[in-house]
Amino acid sequence: TRISRPERILAYVKKHAVPGDAESVANAIDAYCSGVEWAMNIGIDKGKILDRVVSETDPDTVLELGTYCGYSTVRIGKLLRPEARLITIEMNPDYAKVAKQIIALAGLDSKVEILVGSSSELIPQLKKKLDIKTLDLVFIDHWKECYLPDTRCLEESGLLHKGTVLLADNVVCPGAPEYVKYIRNSSRYRSEYFSSRLEYLQVEDGLEKSVFLG
Ligand SMILES: O=C(NC/C=C/[C@H]1O[C@@H](n2cnc3cncnc32)[C@H](O)[C@@H]1O)c1cc([N+](=O)[O-])cc(O)c1O
Ligand SMILES: [Mg+2]
């Protein structure tokens, strides 16, 4: 069988990125996905919004839901302080294998931990397994119908503190209507929408940033 799209992305990154240079890894993925074949990475335009939110939050502990190839993992990881930690959850072992190599190529493996499994199973275990108290930033970019149940799970697991930032990709395209309805109507969050464009295309999409109020 043909190699998978993530494996084609990895091959391109190995050929064109500079090992240890996270920026060159992200640029190589963007070059491939703009020029060769589309892939569901957050991309350049929304990536700049992600960068700004990460820098403003300056988190010690970050959780990412949906690693895929590790593009946003690299974008986030390269902005973190050396002692900060990024946990990323990916249920597809083949994608996780690719992402692990891309994260290592970016020189970020000391800051990043990939957990292979489903978010619904792993979120309740985070405190125990990884000795985590609370999360400062959660980047949500996995199956869109999981956004809301997993946010409820984060609340119930006591992983959110006053000021924790949730940043959700694709709230317009493909859309996460149940999540948006909940989070914008909940008195426990202050939300704002950042309009942008879908990765590598001219379609409208955007990110929803929600601050947990405790
Ligand atoms: O569908 C999209 N993303 C789904 C992302 C899915 C990724 O998260 C993992 N996953 C899913 N539930 C999981 C639960 N637990 C762990 N990993 C999980 C999947 O194995 C995959 O690696 C998408 C689609 C478009 N689009 O234009 O069509 C654009 C985007 O930016 C997107 O993010
Ligand atoms: Mg996305």
pLDDT in the model for residue 31: 96
User: Over 90: is that where the pLDDT of 52 sits?
Assistant: yes
More confident residue, 161 or 203: 161
Which one of the listed residues 90, 136, 141, 150 is annotated catalytic? 141
> Which pLDDT value is given to residue 122?
98
Which is the closest atom of ligand 1 to the Cα of 118?
A: 15
Is residue 167 over pLDDT 90? yes
pTM summary value:
0.96
Probe ligand 1: pick from 142, 200, 208, max atoms within 8 Å of CB?
142
User: Residue with the nearest Cα to atom 29 of ligand 1?
Assistant: 40
pLDDT higher than threshold 90 for residue 209: yes
Residue 156 falls in the annotated catalytic set? no
The 3-state DSSP class for residue 57 equals helix
Q: Is residue 144 flagged as an active site residue?
A: yes
For ligand 1, mutation pick of 38, 90, 154 (most atoms within 8 Å of CB) = 90
Mapped onto helix, strand or coil, the DSSP state of residue 66 is coil
Three-state DSSP class for 163?
strand
- Quick one: average pLDDT of 53-64? 98
Q: What is the Cα–Cα distance from 107 to 111, expressed in whole angstroms?
A: 9
Per-chain mean pLDDT for the chain: 96
**Active-site residue, selected from the candidate residues 199, 205, 208, 209:** 199
Mark whether 145 is an active-site residue. Answer: no
Contact yes or no for 91/11 (Cβ under 8 A): no
Q: Is the pLDDT of residue 1 over 80?
A: no
Q: Which residue's C-alpha comes closest to atom 5 of ligand 1?
A: 142
pLDDT of residue 202: 86
**Tokens 């957050």, residue located:** 42
Contact 179/138 with Cβ under 8 angstroms?
no
Contact indicator for 38, 200 with CB cutoff of 8 Å: yes
Residue 115: name the closest of 133, 142, 134 by CA. Answer: 142
Alpha helices, H only, the chain = 5-16, 22-35, 43-57, 71-77, 93-105, 119-122, 126-130, 147-156, 177-185
Confidence of residue 2 (pLDDT cuts 50, 70, 90): confident
User: What is the band of 192 on the pLDDT scale with cuts at 50, 70, 90?
Assistant: very high
Whole-number Å distance between alpha carbons of 33 and 36:
6
Q: Report residues whose beta carbon is within 6 angstroms of any ligand 1 atom.
A: 40, 66, 68, 89-92, 95, 118-119, 141-143, 146, 169-170, 173-174, 198-199
| pLDDT over 80 at 185, yes or no | yes
| CB 38, CB 6: distance < 8 Å | no
